[in-house]
Amino acid sequence: MILKEPSPVKSLRRIAKLRGFRFIHSSLNIDQKTFALLKRVDELYKWFAENFVHKHKHKVEKWLLYLIVLLENLSVPELKKTLHSFAFHKNDIQKVISFKKDTAKVISKLKKEIPASGIHKILFPLSYEVVLLMLLKAKDVQIKRKIQDFLRAYSGTQIHLRGDELKELGLRPGPDFKLILKELLDAKLDGKFSTKEEELVYLKNEILSKKLSR
């Protein structure tokens, strides 16, 4: 696949000059604006690789970033038909569709004043390819900062306490476990505590005491 070559943009330019990209889809038009965006994808990927790869388990597929940009102007039905016709993997198709469907909605949510836990809730379900391209497309400085904060700190945040430790506190396994762990994570993201000791105090005083008083 051309997009997996070391320097795919050069090959894409040659294709654009020779025959264009209508063999992929009749309405697909790749212009200089697209190539400028592809160049920014290179810069974005390099920035992520240099600053965040060691912090994240998530692997970002560079070729998929290119693909999403190339197909950006197609509608969701056109995307689905095109991607299935070229036999792309289901997960990759979902990421391309996600960028198309979710970007405007996510950007709108990030315009609001929201805590770190809110930013995490919005961005965590998305693939890193989609998050990075949202960072690339966002024009508002504050939105860019929120996405960068997610990549820099929020996405790797974990709580200290685990299910076994909750059992030791007398809690029974069940749906409440997940809710309590989520509430703890949100509180940690929002700076309510940092150490395990503080986390345990928060759990007892702010979560469990309220549940018992209901």
Judgement on whether residues 11 and 90 belong to the same structural domain of the protein: yes
Judgement on whether residues 167 and 121 belong to the same structural domain of the protein: no
Domain extent for 70: 2-156
Judgement on whether residues 170 and 102 belong to the same structural domain of the protein: no
pTM above 0.85, yes or no: yes
pLDDT digits (tens, 9 = 90+) for 98-145: 999 999 999 999 999 999 999 999 999 999 999 999 999 999 999 999
pLDDT digits (tens, 9 = 90+) for 16-72: 766 667 677 777 778 888 889 999 999 999 999 888 766 666 689 999 999 999 999
pLDDT at 212 over 70: no
Judgement on whether residues 123 and 208 belong to the same structural domain of the protein: no
Judgement on whether residues 178 and 140 belong to the same structural domain of the protein: no
Q: What is the pLDDT of residue 53?
A: 65
Judgement on whether residues 113 and 14 belong to the same structural domain of the protein: yes
pLDDT at 7 over 80: no
Judgement on whether residues 80 and 175 belong to the same structural domain of the protein: no
pLDDT at 85 over 90: no
Judgement on whether residues 111 and 8 belong to the same structural domain of the protein: yes
Rounded Cα gap, residues 153 and 45, in angstroms: 18
Q: What is the pLDDT of residue 18?
A: 65
Rounded Cα gap, residues 97 and 186, in angstroms: 28
At 208, the pLDDT band (50, 70, 90 cuts) reads: confident
Judgement on whether residues 148 and 177 belong to the same structural domain of the protein: no
pLDDT (average), residues 160-189: 86
Judgement on whether residues 125 and 167 belong to the same structural domain of the protein: no
Number of separate domains in the chain: 2
Residue 78 sits in a domain of what CATH number? 1.10.3090.10
Query: Higher model confidence: residue 62 or residue 9?
Result: 62
CB 64 within 8 A of CB 4: no
- Residue 73 DSSP symbol: T
Among 107, 140, 156, give the residue marking a domain's end. 156
Question: Of 144, 124, 149, whose CA–CA distance to 133 is shortest?
Answer: 144
Judgement on whether residues 6 and 65 belong to the same structural domain of the protein: yes
Rounded Cα gap, residues 138 and 32, in angstroms: 20
Q: What is the pLDDT of residue 9?
A: 80
Tokens linked to 206: 């702010």
b (16+ CB within 10 A) / e for 158-176: ebebeeeebeeeebeeeee
Among 111, 130, 156, give the residue marking a domain's end. 156
How much of the chain, in percent, has pLDDT values that exceed 70?
Answer: 93
Burial class (CB in 10 A: 0-12, 13-18, 19+), 91: exposed
Instruction: Look over the chain and give the mean of its residue pLDDT values, rounded to a whole number.
Output: 88
Rounded Cα gap, residues 27 and 96, in angstroms: 17
Q: What is the pLDDT of residue 55?
A: 61
pLDDT (average), residues 69-88: 90
Judgement on whether residues 151 and 169 belong to the same structural domain of the protein: no
